[in-house]
Chain A
């Protein structure tokens, strides 16, 4: 029954596509797609850089430290995205915590523009999506047979070599799942760019919102949605090849 509902309204979106003859030739739309994919790419790369080491740490440390680290990942993961966006407004604003501290330390003369621009969006998005990278990588690394890196070391490989040739290749499925999830969610992200972004950070999602709420053009909104859906579907298909559907679907998304 619910499956039918899911498919029914997707079909409805599809039917409107046939009726809408409006061209997506406008610069604004191109720019929005470019901004969205650029933001998603940077977010994904930063999430790998920050998330992989932490996931590695979680997989290789003792149970107590692991429990603490897991709590530090899970609590923000399930905390309302709105509450976290508010926190970043408080932290990064012109008269926010960070600027006030840097000013009082004399490190800067003028408040840094950290909010309502692409930097603010970037920070907020990495914060929201980082757990989606950490959790799949952690679950793969945790199941890695510890004898394998030990064997490599005993055969004379340096720690760096062991990591690059043994641990990293074996963690590729988790990494692929994380990359797919983060990228997929980042492309469709709405809340963080809307709250922390500036007027120049128009993403596909905020464009859909504008078309639907200000222009009240639900049909065109549906066309944009389908474009977004196609993009997400393509990423998912690509990710499924490398990571398997299970790993991606098991981390339920809430962006």
Chain B
């Protein structure tokens, strides 16, 4: 290895350390026995996990976030998959424009989206309700499905469904039995990312939430900002674990895609 390459690696390792150090610190501190965020811990314990479990407000926040994220994931898939399929098969010239408009919530600052949604939801009396939050999260999550599942549909040759159609399958049947199973890995990935998008969402809930919408991120936000409760490190560790699991699911989806391109469905 040349010396230049060695320097590159040394620098790269520093960048990697910068990227992952905070995650390691959180995980280690969460097993600390003292109430101070001392590092490295002098004594180990699971007391902050126990405190988390015993706290009703944390439990309720976790449950609400979970319900919300599941509902958002399902809605995003229901909206996103047909849209992604239509976009990938359309020959209409304005397709690109439609696609851009559909994914635009992703590039707009969430705070701008929050203000816009306020004007949209206020007349419907949805501010401070889980339903309002559900709409907002779906707006953020379904572009994720369009991008990821759309990539899957685009890689699937149209001839696959045309073959089914020519054998007498209806359009719906060809979609349901041929196209959809063929892109299953992409759909699993997109579901994992849509789930995370909703589960971690902070800004919308801060602006559009109310007393009835104490999601996990909102509870964390308040704890970081006002009390620095040591249970925070425990809940953050659980979030990191969830992220790793979701990434693992998405990665499995990606591998399956490479291992069995479309052939599996035929």
Residues of A within 8 A of B (CB): 1-3, 5-10, 12-13, 16, 50-51, 53-54, 56-57, 69, 72-76, 78-91, 93, 95-97, 100, 127, 130-131, 159, 184-185, 187-191, 194-195, 205, 208-209, 212-213, 218, 221-222, 225-226, 228-229, 232, 236, 245, 248-250, 252-255
Binding site for A on B (CB under 8 A): 2, 4, 8-9, 11-12, 15-16, 18-23, 25-26, 29, 36-39, 79, 83, 96, 98, 100-112, 115-120, 135, 138-139, 142-144, 147, 193, 196-197, 200, 202-203, 206-207, 217, 220-221, 224-225, 228, 232-233, 236, 239-240, 243-244, 246-247
Q: Chain B contacts of A53 at CB under 8 A?
A: 8, 11-12, 15
Q: Is the CB of B107 within 8 A of A253?
A: yes
Q: SS class of chain B's interface: helix, strand, loop or mixed? A: helix
Give the chain B neighbours of A254 by CB distance below 8 A: 197, 200
Chain A to chain B contacts (Cβ below 8 Å), 6 pairs = A13-B116, A69-B12, A72-B20, A83-B26, A97-B25, A127-B22
Would B147 and A252 count as touching, CB distance under 8 A?
yes
Which residue of chain B is the closest to A206 with respect to CB atoms? Answer: B111
Determine if B116 and A87 form an interchain contact, defined as CB atoms under 8 angstroms apart.
no
Do residues B119 and A9 form an inter-chain contact, with CB atoms below 8 A? Answer: yes
Residues of A within 8 A of B244 (CB): 75
Partner of A90, one of B15, B29, B119: B29
Instruction: Decide: B116 and A225 in contact? CB cutoff 8 A.
Output: yes
Flag if A195 contacts B39 (CB, 8 Å).
Answer: no
The dominant DSSP class at the A interface is helix
* Known contacts A78-B247, A83-B239, A159-B4: A91-B143 contact under CB 8 Å: no
A86: chain B residues at CB < 8 Å are 26, 220, 224, 232-233, 236
